[in-house]
Amino acid sequence: MSKLLLQEAVQKASRQWQEAFNDGDAISCADFYEDDAIMQAIPFGIYCGKDTILTFWQQLIKDGYRDITYINPQIKVINEQQAVLTANWSMNKSSGVIHKEMWILQDDGNVKLSEDHFEAL
């Protein structure tokens, strides 16, 4: 995949993740992560693996968090298979910074998160 197509795939997947979160669909949120992904959510903790990440999103949605918006997202394409997204974000009960979303091109042509490092301020 070309770097431009990878950037477009990451933009699309990121929008779809935000829509899933705002729809209260934690399962779809978790489906954007690789099975062995790592998520560091400051100050909440480190979550290893898609199932543990799913539990985090389920609880956050259950606690009434919604309406996430990414502010000034930047995508840096590392190579033809990896891209990093950074942004600020806000939602109804919090805001913060995405330090690093590492998106990886999968064999099926989709992209998934292998790493997700963000902070609630």
- pLDDT exceeds 90 at position 25: yes
Assign residue 50 the CATH number of its domain: 3.10.450.50
- CA-to-CA dists, residue 23 to 12, 27, 64, 74, angstroms: 16, 11, 12, 24
- pLDDT exceeds 90 at position 5: yes
Structure tokens at 25: 């669909």
Q: How far apart are CA 103 and CA 101, in angstroms?
A: 6
> 101 is in which domain, residue-wise?
3-120
What value does the mean pLDDT take over residues 47-57?
Answer: 98
What value does the mean pLDDT take over residues 43-52?
Answer: 98
What value does the mean pLDDT take over residues 88-105?
Answer: 98
What value does the mean pLDDT take over residues 70-74?
Answer: 98
- pLDDT exceeds 90 at position 1: no
What's the whole-number average pLDDT of the chain? 97
What local confidence, expressed as pLDDT, does residue 106 receive?
97
What local confidence, expressed as pLDDT, does residue 13 receive?
98
Q: Which of 54, 68, 56 is nearest to 23 (CA)?
A: 68
Could you give the number of structural domains in the chain? 1
What value does the mean pLDDT take over residues 26-38?
Answer: 98
What local confidence, expressed as pLDDT, does residue 53 receive?
98
Q: Which residues pair with 90 in a beta bridge?
A: 69, 95
Structure tokens at 3: 């770097």
